[in-house]
A and B are shown apart, each in its own frame.
Chain A
Amino acid sequence: MQKEGITVNEEQLLYSSSHEWVRLREDEGGKVATIGISAFAVQQLTDLVFMELPEVGRQIAAGEEFGEVESVKAVSPLYSPVDGEIIAVNSELPDRLETLGDDPYEKGWIMKVRLTDESSLARLMDYSAYQKQCSEEG
């Protein structure tokens, strides 16, 4: 299990309007975004039965669909919040969907993307803006 040496604090993540979260870190090759779905989104979905992950190596654009989560009631597409190349996916997740609800910001990460363009980051929300969106939807 990869350890990043930081405690995940959901207040320090960025969020998309479609409920994906983004955690950024720098390495020698540039910026890498770890991406998952928020606790609010998982709570809204409930009764998850299936999840599809993207292929490692795929180039993805911000706003592009990269996978889906399916609940008893409905299917929800997942949208990439960033532009870049997918360098890792959490392949254990589809067999342990409960992790998405139990630990959405750490063990429930979905994919890592090496950014090729940072302009999409400006469209993401900080925690307080995202909380506001959730309270309006909830």
Chain B
Amino acid sequence: MHPLAKTPLHDWHVDQGARMVDFAGWSMPVQYRSIVDEHLATRRAAGVFDISHMGRLRFDGPGSAALLDRVLTRRVSDLAPGCIRYSLVTDDQGGILDDVLVYHLQTPSDRLYHLMVVNASNRQKIVRWLETHLATADDVQMQDRTEQTAMISVQGPAAVQIVTALVSAKVSDLGYYRGVVTEQFGRPCTVSRTGYTGEDGFELIVRAEDAPGVWQNMFRASRGTGIMAAGLGARDTLRLEAGMPLYGHELSERIDPYQASLGFAVNLKDRSFPGRDALVRIKNEPQTLVRVGLELEGRRVARQHDRVLRDGQAVGQITSGTFSPMLRKPIAMAYVQPSVSDLEAPLTVDIRGRSHEARVVPLPFYKRPTGQ
């Protein structure tokens, strides 16, 4: 067995008494004290997450946009500098290999490049996939920058205030899904207005050696804001309340983008990428499964692989479930047959041999108050 990879903030997590777990080959904090406290701090003030395990691939050279266009379900060659786009990588059958963010960035010295942030669990797979496509392109250099950099996510209503105090760029003016290469105390730092919690927030990419300093500066500069370090446990409950899919749960190679309600992230017109022709066909066929949100009666929590039933017949499967800290009830996402996917459809979930009432509800489960 390989030793677990450690992020540059690993020692800080351990010093704080975080519970560390193996996540995709990384030793990561699942929680410091309480998942619920970390979740609520993020909704009410700010949660700060070490997400350095996420893969960061950099593409330099005149051919980088063209290369990315050949592998992504969405075009990125039309992305203006400073813009970020969510996209998928699909296999030849249209199955989802990963969901990614692609940044088009401009350094202060006006050098342009692309950055792709991929799931930790898919990093090696995507690097290999891209390398097979790179073989034909001599005007692109791909570098896996994951281990030379760190990534920190600051999420919640206080995130603007916290990140403003930290970096040179005026981040309050940064639009959603926009990014900028700036500085934090004289050190390079890429800031984007992105996140995975349903809150306003930012993700920072810094050099690995600068990460502990950035982290400390952030806590020092944010006293009194209600800022709290949050682990992967809260990251999961937050994204679930926000109705966001997670690779390995809602997304896999056996799921196509339309089943996952990610049709918006697929552009088929005048395009050529792996899976494109399969997706044209899939899009025109009746859908076999639909991703839905469920609310359950009682307090027992449905978990991945639990069966969903209608009148005793299996009609689907749970992909993620938790007890929602904001709604104070069990919530879940599932794939079900389209015939039972209407809102309010009464279903049951088999939780370890006992059936529990559930109903289809709109996603997201939780939406932050407007004006934040």
Contact = CB atoms under 8 A, between A and B. Distances in A.
B299 A49 contact: yes
B299 A72 contact: no
B139 to A, nearest CB: 47
Contacts of A72: 35-36, 233, 237, 301, 322-323, 325
B170 interface: no
A70 B233 CA distance: 15
B36 A47 contact: yes
A46 B34 CA distance: 6
A73 B299 contact: no
A75 B330 CA distance: 13
A84 B188 CA distance: 67
Contacts of A52: 300
B340 interface: no
Interface string B31-66: 101111000000000000000000000000000000
Interface in B291-311: 298-301, 303
A50 interface: yes
Nearest to B37: A47
Interface in B216-258: 233, 237
Interface in A47-101: 47, 49-50, 52, 70, 72-75
A50 to B, nearest CB: 4
Interface string B319-355: 0001101000010000000000000000000001000
B300 A50 contact: yes
Contact of A75 (B30, B33, B35, B301): B301
A49 B331 CA distance: 13
Given A47-B36, A49-B323, A75 B303 contact: yes
A74 B322 CA distance: 9
B30 A73 contact: yes
Contact of A46 (B35, B300, B301): B35
Contacts of B300: 50, 52, 70
Contacts of B352: 75
A46, A49, A70 pick with most chain B CB within 10 angstroms: A49
Contacts of B33: 46
Contacts of A73: 30-31, 35, 233, 322
B22 to A, nearest CB: 15
Contacts of B322: 72-73
Contact of A70 (B31, B35, B237, B301): B301
Interface string B12-27: 0000000000000000
B35 A47 contact: yes
A46 B299 contact: no
Nearest to B323: A49
Interface in A1-32: none
Nearest to B354: A52
A49 B328 CA distance: 9
Interface of B: 30-31, 33-36, 233, 237, 298-301, 303, 322-323, 325, 330, 352
Interface of A: 46-47, 49-50, 52, 70, 72-75
Given A49-B330, A72-B35, A73-B30, 7 more contacts: A47-B34, A49-B299, A50-B298, A50-B299, A72-B322, A73-B35, A73-B322
Task: Give the top 4 A-B pairs by smallest Cβ distance, nearest first.
Answer: A50-B299, A49-B323, A47-B36, A72-B35
28 contacts: A46-B31, A46-B33, A46-B35, A47-B34, A47-B35, A49-B299, A49-B301, A49-B323, A50-B298, A50-B299, A50-B300, A50-B301, A50-B323, A70-B300, A70-B301, A70-B323, A72-B35, A72-B233, A72-B237, A72-B301, A72-B323, A72-B325, A73-B35, A73-B233, A74-B303, A75-B301, A75-B303, A75-B352
